[in-house]
Amino acid sequence: MKVNGTEYRTIWMEGKSVYMIDQNHLPWEFSIFRSDDYRTTCRAIKDMTTRGAGAIGAAAGFAMAQAFMDAPAQNFEEYIADARQTIMDTRPTARNLFYAVELVYETGKQSTDAAIKQAQRIAEKDIADSRAIGSFGNELINSGANILTHCNAGWLAFVDYGTALSPVYTAHAAGKEVFVWADETRPRGQGARLTAWELNNAAIPHSIIADTAGASLMAQGKVDMVITGADRIAGNGDTANKIGTLEKAIAAKHFGIPFYVAAPTSTVDLACKTGADIVIEERNPDEVLYQTGPDAQGVIRKIRVASPGSTAFNPAFDVTPASLISGIITEKGIVDSAKDNLLDLLNRL
């Protein structure tokens, strides 16, 4: 995607260095973070310098490749095993992270060069999948549609294009009129900061709404469809996504509004039979208790927004049951989760 006229990917690797758009600085500052070794890349995943299922998948694949490039001959296997575990320990919920680590780890058994090629291939496939999701999803969008989305599943959450926003970009490019309601997505504000920044950048009409506003807008007929991303999809179609997604799905069902999940098939984890098997990340309570942003003078400050002395609980994801999902938009087509068995579909496509 273009930023100020220059084409950027969210994350890429050149030689031994991994470059990523620093998402902790957005929307206030556009900057590129550089990591020269797998440990730094792991820190960038953990502290959400890069985030979103596809982007952390690519980051994890690149980190594994960096480990192969750096592994000393005298304790090669031990170093690689340690790196693999360290990368897998960064964040637990997004399936793409584990998918990428495993692929690069397995390929790296042939050669370091093969590991690097595999990591680059994962990033390229992420882009191709996102584009395909855009074309399939576009077929669901009528001109004039008001689309609600939660969190950020745009190009910043993938290597390019994104998932939930990819159909919106495709529809907009095709000349359809689209309007996006962007849930602010507390506590980290990925909707208010990142989705809004992306949509501004692409000149797509949108409004940021409080996380609590969606149901009321649905009741007033102001939402035609919901599209969200996914971090992990269980074999039965239950879907883990950013905390707050479940509430939107329940409200959409109540008001008869289609609720779509957009995700590549690399997000499906058949080892999880149902959503109950998905590990939900719990993050630092400070994300709930404090907010960060520029003050009136433009100085970035962290301020407390909760009662002093109170603590907080911060689960980062929730699970939407398949029964609330109208369809899953994948790079291979749209799965009707009420009718299609995901396993059958994956085998068939």
Closer residue to ligand MRU (CB): 198 or 340: 198
133 within 8 A of 167, measured Cβ to Cβ:
yes
- What are the start-end ranges of the H helices in the chain? 38-46, 53-70, 76-88, 95-108, 112-138, 166-173, 196-201, 214-219, 245-254, 286-289, 342-348
Contact 6, 55 (CB under 8 A): no
Residue 112 corresponds to which amino acid? T
Can you tell me which residue has the tokens 């390929």?
107
For residue 74, the minimal CB distance to ligand MRU (Å) is 36
Using CB positions, name the residue nearest to ligand MRU.
Answer: 229
The closest of 152, 109, 130 to 21, measured between CA atoms, is 152
What is the separation of C-alpha 300 from the centre of its chain, rounded to a whole number of angstroms?
Answer: 25
Closest CA to 154 of 21, 35, 281: 21
CA–CA dist 195, 184 (Å, integer): 9
CB 285 within 8 A of CB 311: yes
Nearer to ligand MRU, 172 or 248 (CB): 248
Q: Whole-number minimum distance, CB 229 to ligand MRU, in Å? A: 3
Report the residue number, 54 or 108, with the smaller CB distance to ligand MRU. Answer: 54
Residue with smaller CB distance to ligand MRU, 35 or 50: 50
The footprint of ligand MRU (CB under 6 A) covers: 51-53, 151-153, 157, 163, 190, 228-231, 241-242, 316
Query: Residue 41 Cβ, how far from ligand MRU at the closest point, in Å?
Result: 15
C-beta of 153 vs 324, nearer to ligand MRU:
153
Strand, coil or helix: 239 = strand
Query: Is there a contact between 103 and 118 (Cβ–Cβ < 8 Å)?
Result: yes
CA pair distance 76, 88, nearest whole angstrom:
18
Of the pair 71, 156, the CB lying nearest ligand MRU is at: 156
> What does DSSP assign to residue 280?
P
Angle between helices 166-173 and 112-138 (to 10 degrees): 60
Shortest distance, position 96 Cβ to ligand MRU, whole Å: 8
Structure token digits, residue 63? 């980190």
Q: Of 129, 160, 183, 231, which one is the catalytic site residue?
A: 231
Alpha-carbon distance 55 to 45, whole Å?
A: 9
Cβ 69 to ligand MRU shortest distance, Å = 26
Is there a contact between 161 and 168 (Cβ–Cβ < 8 Å)? no
In angstroms, give the least distance from the CB of 1 to ligand MRU.
15
CB of 209 to ligand MRU, least distance (A): 16
- Catalytic: 238? no
State which residue, 24 or 118, has the beta carbon closest to ligand MRU: 24
Q: Which residues are known to be catalytic?
A: 231
